[in-house]
Amino acid sequence: MLARESVAFLGLGSNLGDRLDSLQRAVDRLDADPRICVDDVSSVYETAPVGGPEQEPFLNIAARVRTRHSPRRLLAACQRVEAGMGRVRTVRWGPRTIDVDILLFSDRVIARRDLQVPHPRLTERAFALIPLMEVAPGGRLPDGSSLAAALARLAPIEGVVVVGSQITVPPADDLPGAAPPV
């Protein structure tokens, strides 16, 4: 890792339009930011919506990224991806083309009006914890508790169905600072 680089974990979800395409485009757009490198993505999970109006099921993934952004600038980058893909925030927990949340940022705890890390409802949501555990095996929350223990407290788990591994990490030769192909 480069100096001042942090590891963050993002949760992505979509329930409007071509959900798989939206997830892939969001991963690609995040990786296109010169201060973000997507290292890994989880399997894709279909989940029932939580809260909000009646709506279609979501497809969800988690991504592990290396970033040279501060947490607030990473949030701004995530929101730029959402806006660029047509996300409109009219109804809380309503349908969306793409949602990109910061789940964890290194081992930091951030409590600001505009940003809370770990994500404030992470330990209540199997649809976020299950894919997160794929890209953060053995992962822990900043308080030292394990992601697996948080997931176990939600048992029995229902309504989170793996649908495959269709989302890919952008090629390594597209990474900022990578050596050109020989």
96 classed as catalytic:
yes
- pLDDT tens, 66-82? 999 999 999 999 999 99
**pTM for this predicted structure:** 0.88
The DSSP code sequence of 93-145 is T---S-EEEEEEETT--EE-SS-EES-TTGGG-HHHHHHHHHHSTT-B-TTS-
One of 19, 31, 64, 99 is an active-site residue; which one?
99
According to CATH, the topology of domain 6-165 is Alpha-Beta Plaits (3.30.70)
One of 19, 33, 101, 125 is an active-site residue; which one?
101
Question: pLDDT band at residue 43, thresholds of 50, 70 and 90?
Answer: very high
101 classed as catalytic:
yes
- pLDDT tens, 95-117? 788 999 999 999 998 889 888 88
99 classed as catalytic:
yes
- Where in the chain are the domains? 6-165
**Residue bearing tokens 């949340």:** 101
One of 96, 108, 114, 174 is an active-site residue; which one?
96
One of 19, 29, 68, 87 is an active-site residue; which one?
87
